[in-house]
Amino acid sequence: MNNEEIWQAALTDLEVSVSKANFVTWFQNTSIATRQSGTIVLCVPNAFVKEWLEYKYHKTIMKSLRTLCPETRIVEYIISSQLQPLLQKQRRERVFEQREGEEQMEFKELLVDRDTNLNPRYTFENFVVGSFNELAHAASIAVTNNPGRVYNPLFIYGGVGLGKTHLLQSVGNAVKKTNPKSKIQYLSAERFTSELVNSMQNNEAHLFKEKYRSFDLLIIDDIQFIAGKTKTQEEFFHTFNSLYEAGKQIIFSSDKPPQSIQNLEERLRSRFEGGMVADISQPEYESRLAILKNKAISKEPQPSEEIIEFIAANVQKNIRELEGALNAVVARTKLSGRVLSIPEVKDILAKNTQPKKMVTANQIIKAVAEFYGVNEKSLYEKTRKKEVVKPRQIAMYLLREDFNGSYPYIGQRFGGRDHTTAIHSFEKVSQDIKKNSQLYAEIKLIRERLYEYSVE
């Protein structure tokens, strides 16, 4: 076997032990540069990839190469720009290819497919997987490989900017690719609602029905918007049933799990829960770093390792903000024509992001009321209705835990209740949260909405 064949065989082996997105991110444009007396030097496109392979995948790579060439003792990595002139020429060609690819990518932003509403920019290939989105990603892959058969519906939920739309559209794009004939439709729940209303106003409800029952794969983003819309929920229920019974795949995203969507018909809620429910949480440091590295590869000028790490450490809220911070830093570097210092980067982040704010009691109460879809005023009233009691107790809990309010203050804040009521609420929620993972998740989501990330 020559070097190329060896590396191809190794890649085939590596592909199964690494997730697809990571594989594409870290192994594309790699090759064997030299192989001599037990040492294999791998050529990699840039410093990020070099570090990542050394740090994360060295053992796996070593193992694959040893199976193929048992004499291998050492594996080293070299950035392609550090190879001799011949290899440099190849690199130039490769970089050129990448540039072209990049421009196409930007152009593609505008290219939302008219039939499906899918944006080709969202693919599994550029979706980074970490522990925060692993389950949602695995479920999406399963559904892509077997639409209508494994998890139906697939319900993905999580806070804003965490990759729900990206993941949902990746499924659509991947299914379209393997099966160009399949009828796919991506749309937001808001758009579904407005189309329905329009069709009814124009006496064309039958056309609407026909249209939505003809899809093989229906993807509805931000389904929480149908909360409280009775007519939409009813029509949607029938659409859902007819697609489901015909074995067609349905995928939803939402900012909260089905159980937490208020004003949702019970029969719909139980449909949403009938397949697979998977969450995407906030990415931890390692995942933020991987995402940034992945996105930085296509940036010019490429920010230094140190800067990337600084952004990953300081921008914690969501992936959209992470991308925004990276773009701001790259744009400023381009303008200034030199490498930025860490204090300068810090300055850019501070200007482009909101500092962690102290939340007020009002904001806490408002966020809780909004999350559970109850009227804020009802929290202050005497009512003991179940849908109000729970949010009220949670608001009291958060006022104590996050706002450090005294019990008499909290009691007072909720319609002049006694301080013992505040104590009881706080203790009840503190206990429940330990046993009830649903409640735990809800409070986590409320907090995610309440707090901005901090720049230190």
Pick from Mg ion, ligand ADP, none: which does 291 bind, CB < 5 to 8 A by kind?
A: ligand ADP
Select from 47-55, 62-70, 126-134, 184-192 the region that touches ligand ADP (CB under 6 A): 126-134
C-beta separation of 258 from 169 below 8 A: no
Minimum separation from the CB atom of position 163 to ligand ADP (A): 3
How far apart (Å, rounded) are the C-alpha atoms in residues 123 and 128?
10
Would the annotation count 161 as a binding residue?
yes
| Shorter beta-carbon distance to Mg ion: residue 216 or 255 | 255
C-beta separation of 371 from 446 below 8 A: yes
Q: Which of 58, 267, 320, 357 binds ligand ADP (CB under 6 A)?
A: 320
Kindly report the number of other CB atoms within 10 A of residue 38's CB atom: 12
97, with CB counted inside 10 A (0-12, 13-18, 19+), is exposed
- ω before 301 within 30° of 0 (cis)? yes
Select from 179-187, 266-274, 316-324, 376-384 the region that touches ligand ADP (CB under 6 A): 316-324
Kindly report the number of other CB atoms within 10 A of residue 157's CB atom: 25
Q: Which residue's Cβ has the minimum distance to ligand ADP?
A: 163
Is residue 386 classed as helix, strand or coil in its secondary structure? helix
Would the annotation count 165 as a binding residue?
yes
Q: Which of 40, 154, 162, 429 binds ligand ADP (CB under 6 A)?
A: 162
Minimum separation from the CB atom of position 272 to ligand ADP (A): 17
128, two tokens: 């980074």
Does position 166 bind ligand ADP by CB under 6 A? yes
Does position 176 bind ligand ADP by CB under 6 A? no
Minimum separation from the CB atom of position 142 to Mg ion (A): 21
Q: Which of 40, 139, 261, 319 binds ligand ADP (CB under 6 A)?
A: 319
| Shorter beta-carbon distance to Mg ion: residue 148 or 324 | 324
How far apart (Å, rounded) are the C-alpha atoms in residues 400 and 219?
40
How far apart (Å, rounded) are the C-alpha atoms in residues 246 and 253?
21
Would the annotation count 164 as a binding residue?
yes
Select from 37-45, 158-166, 230-238, 349-357 the region that touches ligand ADP (CB under 6 A): 158-166
Minimum separation from the CB atom of position 324 to ligand ADP (A): 9
How far apart (Å, rounded) are the C-alpha atoms in residues 69 and 38?
9
111, two tokens: 């290219």
Q: Which of 31, 165, 169, 282 binds Mg ion (CB under 5 A)?
A: 165
How far apart (Å, rounded) are the C-alpha atoms in residues 106 and 172?
20
Size of the site for ligand ADP (CB under 6 A): 15
- HSE (side-chain half, CA atoms, 13 Å) at 160: 8
Q: Which of 127, 155, 192, 426 binds ligand ADP (CB under 6 A)?
A: 127
**What one-letter code names the amino acid at 213?**
R
| Shorter beta-carbon distance to Mg ion: residue 153 or 391 | 153
Minimum separation from the CB atom of position 15 to ligand ADP (A): 19
Cα dist from 224 to 261, 264, 295, 374, whole Å: 6, 9, 30, 14
Report DSSP state, residue 218. Answer: E
Does position 133 bind Mg ion by CB under 5 A? no
117, two tokens: 């509403």
Minimum separation from the CB atom of position 114 to Mg ion (A): 20
- HSE (side-chain half, CA atoms, 13 Å) at 280: 32
C-beta separation of 453 from 357 below 8 A: no
Does position 163 bind ligand ADP by CB under 6 A? yes
168, two tokens: 């949902």
Does position 73 bind ligand ADP by CB under 6 A? no
How far apart (Å, rounded) are the C-alpha atoms in residues 113 and 199?
22
Does position 219 bind ligand ADP by CB under 6 A? no
Minimum separation from the CB atom of position 130 to Mg ion (A): 18
Strand boundaries in 320-413, DSSP class E: none
Would the annotation count 421 as a binding residue?
no
Ranges within 277-296 binding ligand ADP (CB under 6 A): 291
Judged by the rule CB under 6 A, the positions of this chain that interact with ligand ADP are 126-128, 133, 160-166, 291, 319-320, 323
Judged by the rule CB under 5 A, the positions of this chain that interact with Mg ion are 164-165
List residues forming the annotated binding site for ATP: 161, 163-165
List residues forming the annotated binding site: 161, 163-165
